[in-house]
Amino acid sequence: MSTEHVKGGKSDPLMRDAFIDTVFARAKQDKDIVFVSADFGAKALDAFRTELPGQFIHAGISEQHMVDFAAGLALSGRRVFLYAMAPFITLRCIEQIKCVLVSMNLPVTLIGVGVGLGYDHATLTHFTPEDIACMRAMNHLEVWSPADAEGALHLAELCLDDPRLRYVRLERQGMPSLYRGRFAPNDGFLEVRRGADVALVACGYMTHKALRAAEQLGEGTGVIDLFRIKPIDSQRLVDVLSRYKRVVTVEEQLLQGGFGSAVLEVLSDRGIDRPVRRVGIRDGFDVVNGDRDHLHALYGIDVPDIIRAAAG
Q: Which pLDDT belongs to residue 40?
A: 67
Amino acid found at 298: L
Ranges of residues in the chain whose predicted pLDDT is under 50: 1-5
User: Distances in Å between the alpha carbon of 220 and those of 82, 83, 290, 295, 301?
Assistant: 42, 40, 34, 28, 21
Model pTM above 0.85:
yes
Looking at the structure, tell me whether residues 9 and 151 fall in a common domain: yes
Looking at the structure, tell me whether residues 157 and 23 fall in a common domain: yes
Domain extent for 87: 3-170
CATH number, residue 113: 3.40.50.970
Looking at the structure, tell me whether residues 211 and 287 fall in a common domain: yes
Instruction: For residue 184, tell me if it sits in a domain.
Output: no
Residue-wise pLDDT tens digits, 26-76: 999 999 999 999 976 777 899 999 999 999 999 988 999 999 999 999 999
How far apart are the C-alpha atoms of 201 and 247, rounded to whole Å?
7
For the chain, the domain total comes to 2
Residue-wise pLDDT tens digits, 128-159: 999 999 999 999 999 999 999 999 999 999 99
Q: Which pLDDT belongs to residue 11?
A: 67
Looking at the structure, tell me whether residues 148 and 203 fall in a common domain: no
Q: Which pLDDT belongs to residue 7?
A: 59
Q: Is 309 helix (H, G, I), strand (E, B) or coil?
A: helix
Looking at the structure, tell me whether residues 155 and 205 fall in a common domain: no
Of 38, 27, 150, 43, the closest CA to residue 93 belongs to 38
Instruction: For residue 298, tell me if it sits in a domain.
Output: yes
Q: Which pLDDT belongs to residue 39?
A: 77
Looking at the structure, tell me whether residues 269 and 202 fall in a common domain: yes
Looking at the structure, tell me whether residues 43 and 160 fall in a common domain: yes
Domain stop point among 135, 170, 205: 170
Asked whether the beta carbons of 159 and 167 are under 8 A apart, the reply is no
Looking at the structure, tell me whether residues 20 and 157 fall in a common domain: yes
Q: Which pLDDT belongs to residue 6?
A: 57
CATH number, residue 297: 3.40.50.920
Looking at the structure, tell me whether residues 140 and 227 fall in a common domain: no
Tally helices (H) and strands (E) across the chain.
14, 12
| Residue-level length of the chain | 312
Instruction: For residue 181, tell me if it sits in a domain.
Output: no
How far apart are the C-alpha atoms of 96 and 215, rounded to whole Å?
43
Instruction: For residue 25, tell me if it sits in a domain.
Output: yes
Instruction: For residue 178, tell me if it sits in a domain.
Output: no
Looking at the structure, tell me whether residues 34 and 141 fall in a common domain: yes
Looking at the structure, tell me whether residues 124 and 226 fall in a common domain: no
